[in-house]
Amino acid sequence: MASGYQHYRWIDALRGFAVAAIVFIHVVGGWTSAVQGEGIGGARWFLDCVLIQTLTRWAVPCFIMISGFLLLDDGKEIGIEKTVWYVVRMASALLAFGLPYCLIETVVEEGFADIPHIVAVSFRNLLEGRSWTHMWYVYMMLGLYLMLPLFRAFAKTADDKTYRFVLTVLFCMTIVRPAVNGIFGIAVEILIPVNTAYPFYFLMGYYLRKHKIKKSYLMAGLVLGTIGMITGQIFGADNSPGNLLVAVYSVAIFALAADSRFLEKCSENRIISQISKYSFGIYLIHPFFLNVMNKALHIYPTSFPIVAGEVLFFAVAIVGAYLSAWILCRIRIMRKILL
């Protein structure tokens, strides 16, 4: 690693808070999916399906921006060998976690009658991206890592004007265009050979490493994004990372986090630092505990008083996942995958 590499404590804290936010998303998404919308209403609907599902949506975009912030840094030496390792690490995570999740689903559907068939079906499901839904992030990061040499070459050689132009094009074509199509019921067919918002977030992370955005603009984006997403969620809008308001909201949070003394202090907290350290393992493992409670035991946050149920499920999932990741990291090969 080059001598110019710098450690950012606020990133440690942001990573910890981000994985906690994702666990909350899945606490809510898990039980609402399990009951298929039955009995969801009132204050609990507003808390879980509106507030939690909205205010946590910054987490995944910020994870991607963290990756861009760190991996596109000129002070970090990343050759082809290192890039290949990043790809192998994601592929190994798919095999170590995505394949067992596929096996669980196949066994639940078909039983143990034909084990070779179960393995074959599960492996095919893994290749086709049909593992547990949260594993989409691993597939996406595998793709970003495959393109890392291209992204690094661009970040290293592009001047500020060119970089801003490419960011603008990606923002307009992968985030604004779908929003316009959805709002006006049209199908704008101006396309670029990039069909997701993730490269935008990846490149934006590095852009925000070198450039500051006025705090007044960031606060306006935060407020606009929050109000817009809550309103959209009430009316059933899709608050995925490709949503225009999610993008504005997430970029504002990331940029504000970069100047946050609060996050610098939070990084010194042992609990937050441990959650941050094992964040990838927590991400991969926590749905297992939620699925056991929701699908196997048929216990939901609604089995408990409002707020208490959500906090309890969050605690079980994040503590269970943390302990599991900690134990798995005692195994050398798993440590290489998870840390």
What is the residue-wise DSSP string for 196-225?
A: SSHHHHHHHHHHHHH----HHHHHHHHHHH
pTM recorded for the entire structure: 0.95
Nearest to 163 by CA among 200, 110, 126: 200
Residue by residue, pLDDT tens for the chain (339 residues) are 344 558 899 999 999 999 999 999 999 988 877 666 566 678 988 999 899 999 999 999 999 999 999 999 988 889 999 999 999 999 999 999 999 999 999 999 998 889 999 999 999 999 999 999 999 999 999 999 999 999 999 999 999 999 999 999 999 999 999 999 999 999 988 889 898 999 999 999 999 999 999 999 999 999 999 999 999 999 888 899 999 999 999 999 999 999 999 999 999 999 999 999 999 999 999 999 999 999 899 999 989 999 999 999 999 999 999 999 999 999 999 999 999
CB 118 within 8 A of CB 102: no
